[in-house]
Structure 1
Amino acid sequence: MDIAIRARNSPTDREATRQGLNIRFLEPCRGVKVAMMTMIHSDAPWPMHGLAEDARPALAQALLKGPAALATIVALGGGGPRPVGAQMVFGDGLISGFLSGGCIEADVEVHARACLEDGIARRLVYGEGSPWPDIRLLCGARIEILVERIAPDDMAARTLLDLAAARLPAFWVSDGARRLCAEEPQVPWAGAFERAYDPVPRLVVIGGDPTALAIASLAAQSGHETFLLRPKGPAAPPPLAGVAYHREPLEGALAAIRLDAWTSVAVCGHDLEQDHTALMTALPSPAPYVGLLGARRRLPERIARLRAAGLGERELAKLRAPIGLDLGGKAPFEVAVAVIGEVMAARHGQPALARRVVEA
């Protein structure tokens, strides 16, 4: 793969070899030097590592083997493809995340491997005002990245991972040499940046038909910790990667999952009693999104039953029914796309949801 990455601060061939990289520089082409880079720790022809949005799992995995390099976008100008706070992790045999559309990742890795060697943090600037103009960003953005070495015994990293395991927010502050992490927002000192982390988003899907399976599958693929609840369902779990299966009664399963402010619920059971039980648990919970699959004509009686059971207007206002954005499709994966889109819109506070609130 040819990548325009030859920056003036790139290591020499000997340094690159010591860092576990094999780099061969080609002749200049239209003023841009091009490098053919093969990373011996990964021979994947496609950047699948870029599908990982959350750096914490990769950081935890990397720290099991030794130090890791954490690269974070700390400043951005001109509308780059990735936001401030986007991160990559580099470790022994590991790479995760992405920072651009492919323009800078290879060069960032070179500096990350050098950072792992010498422990010195680096601030990299690409685009306008960069000291290395040979790296071109097609989007025209200016990206500033902090690369820092994280040791396995780093207390801030340990706190970050502990808070993630406890499903609590975390606030990371670092200038590359000094860092801290806490559950409450911090005041960055001069030269430091703050990065907030939410718990991993979760989706609980209740049901077992093809639509429920499609929703659960797409949720897992899109970065959700996913649960599929089917009371008295088959003993064997569904063949869906990344989906935790529960077949016990709903009350016990939902209590064990512990619905929180980062857990959404999709009720797709086609069973009036089970659906009612699920809604009576999910709507009063901290869950920010509760969707119900079912015919629109049955909604008034369902809402009336929920009111009669004691739910107030605040709880009922959380219900999205019929579930999913109105994309017009009815096939299982078409519904799944609509549901996951609505869940994400709810998480990001998008106004498209206003027309989906139940009117009853």
Structure 2
Amino acid sequence: MLDIAEELHRWVRDGRDFAVATVVSVGGSAPRPPGAALAVDTDGTVIGSVSGGCVEGAVYDLCVQALQDGEPVSERFGYSDEDAFAVGLTCGGVIEVLVTPVRAGDPVYAAGLAAAARGEPVALARVARGPAELLGRALLVYPDGRHEGSLGPRDADSPGEVGADGSGRHRPHEGPRAGRSHLDRTSAAQARALLDLGRTGTVEISEDGSHCPGGLTLFVESSVPPPRMIVFGAVDFAAALVRAGRFLGYRVTVCDARPVFATRSRFPDADEIVVDWPHRYLLRTATDERTVLCVLTHDAKFDIPLLREALRLPAAFVGAMGSRRTHEDRNRRLREGGVTERELARLRSPIGLDLGGRTPEETALSIAAEIVAVRNGGSGVPLTDSAAPIHRDRDKPVLRVS
């Protein structure tokens, strides 16, 4: 549900109750990944999507029912061979959907949606499978380990444990409150691990938070700031690539050492424009495993010192523009500069997929296509010529506490 946090945050501010259906697991050729969400408010207004249209009507009905009775529900949708017109995914996939009613005044959801809408890192963990009384319980986890809410039963939900004196009072550190605390601490630690990786996925954990198999399945949604795309070289192709990067959800920076070219008028769609030597800027700016680095300068005095540093960073993608002759000369210079063969193997050059394009827009499309393919493990070949699944499982593993 954090993928539609901005809209839901507005609903919360307006005091609108709603039910949200979230994809918690997928199998086969499912059209939307875990975390995709559809929400319905009390007026019947709909935002988001869980399947691209296949089961939206049935999910809408589940949301309406959840709003009426206040009960969360988990539902599995798949293709039916016996009845091709039954509710299901005609593409042959399977999705599991968790439907949760949310009151506008709920502090956990309100805080989580507000943080995600501001672009702040936060994780929302919910019980996706387990005892009915725990289904949909939510825990909000921050990067520093703080958490709000609880996944365990409320004290009133469980009978007191009989003490030695037969009084029914809970012994210190025992009973529901202690169980809740242990479960929440364990769950928060697992959710934070996913948040640190910027991933959304499931965590299997015991109901009391101990290291025993079985129990609960938590669905953890991570909301992190958008990944960065840094475009080096304020050339004509860069303006089109900036627009493509923004379309793909990146925070895009343009960097060039020449102030006459690196201007806001030339790159109105960039989030940031930096006038500096590319390698010097790369060394002082923040990058991570999701960062995309696109070198479009095809000028050795900029490229070589920049790529020497870029290929040693844990970036998701490092690509450089240039002809095949430029590519060979660049590789020779990089080897002479101490770049290893292993580091050099990370360089995507000449950058982009072979689409036969020539214009800046077509070139930007080919670069963006290669970035998407690398990010998702795609081959880049036409689907007509490929027998691979159309919708691959993303790199969001199931974590088990054992």
Same fold (TM over 0.5): yes
Determine the structure 1 residue equivalent to 2:388.
none
User: Which amino acid counterpart does residue 177 of structure 1 have in structure 2?
Assistant: G
Distance 2:90 2:380 in 1: 31
Alpha-carbon distance in 2 for matches of 1:83, 1:235: 38
| Secondary structure of 2:74 counterpart | strand
**Does the 8 Å contact 1:211/1:333 carry over to 2?**
yes
Q: 1:303 aligns with which of 327, 331, 334?
A: 331
The aligned length equals 298
* 1:187 to 2:204 alignment: yes
Find the aligned partners of 2:282 and 2:265 in 1 and give their Cα distance.
17
User: Where in structure 2 are the equivalents of 1:10-159 lying within 5 Å?
Assistant: 54-56=3-5, 58=7, 62-65=11-14, 69-76=19-26, 79-89=29-39, 96-112=47-63, 115=66, 119-126=70-77, 135=87, 137-139=89-91, 141-150=93-102, 153-154=107-108, 158=112
Alignment partner, residue 232 of structure 2: 206
> Which secondary structure state, in structure 2, belongs to the residue aligned with residue 247 of structure 1?
strand
CA distance in 1, matches of 2:266, 2:205: 46
TM-score for the superposition, normalised by structure 2:
0.60
User: Bigger shift: 190-199 or 259-268?
Assistant: 190-199
Please tell me whether residue 215 in structure 1 is matched to residue 277 in structure 2. no
What runs of 5+ residues in structure 2 fail to find an aligned partner?
Answer: 129-134, 142-190, 195-202, 207-214, 382-402
**Percent of residue pairs identical:** 30
**Equivalent of residue 244 in structure 1, options 271, 281, 301:** 271
Equivalent position of 2:369 in the other structure: 341
Cα deviation for residue 65 of structure 1 reads 4.5
Separation (CA, whole Å) in 1 of partners of 2:9 and 2:338 = 44
- DSSP-derived class of the 1:284 partner: coil
User: What amino acid maps onto 1:273 in structure 2?
Assistant: K
Instruction: Check whether the contact 1:173–1:188 (CA below 8 A) recurs between aligned residues.
Output: no
What is the identity, as a one-letter code, of the residue corresponding to 2:310? Answer: A
How far 1:292 sits from its partner (Å)?
0.3
- Structure 1 residue runs of 4+, over 6 Å off? 91-94
Within 2, Cα distance between the matches of 1:137 and 1:312?
48
What amino acid is the match of 1:192?
T
Residue aligned with 1:192, SS: strand
8 Å CA contact retained: 1:156, 1:179: no
Which entry has the higher C-alpha Rg, 1 or 2? 2
Q: Distance in 1 between matches of 2:47 and 2:20?
A: 10
**Conserved 8 A contact 1:160-1:172:** no
Counterpart of 2:286, as a letter, is R
CA 1:217–1:235 in structure 2 vs 1: closer, same or farther (change >3 Å)? closer
Q: Is the 8 A contact 1:288 1:318 kept in 2?
A: no
Which is worse superposed, 261-270 or 145-154?
145-154
Contact 1:204 1:228 in 2 (8 A): yes
Could you tell me how far apart the structure 2 residues matched to 1:72 and 1:317 are? 39
Give the direction of change, closer, same or farther, for the CA distance of 1:275–1:88 in structure 2 (3 Å limit): farther
Deviation of 1:261 (Å): 0.3
Q: Which amino acid aligns with 1:144?
A: E
The CA distance in 2 between the partners of 1:311 and 1:339, in whole Å, is 24
Q: CA RMSD in A?
A: 4.0
How far is the alpha carbon of 1:118 from its aligned partner? 5.5
**Partner of residue 40, structure 1:** none
Letter of the 1:244 partner, please give it.
D
Decide which of 282, 286, 300 is 2:310's aligned counterpart. Answer: 282
Letter in 1 for 2:72: A
Structure 1 portions without partners, runs of 5+: 1-51, 354-360
Distance 1:314 1:146, change over 3 A: same
Q: What letter corresponds to residue 21 of structure 2 in structure 1? A: A
- Of the three residues 235, 243, 251, the one matched with 1:225 is 251
Assess if the C-alpha contact under 8 Å between 2:22 and 2:38 holds in 1. yes
Q: 2:137 aligned to 161, 178, 187, which one?
A: 178
Distance in 2 between residues matched to 1:319 and 1:335, nearest whole Å: 18
Distance between the aligned counterparts of 1:255 and 1:159, measured in 2?
A: 34
CA distance in 2, matches of 1:54, 1:276: 39
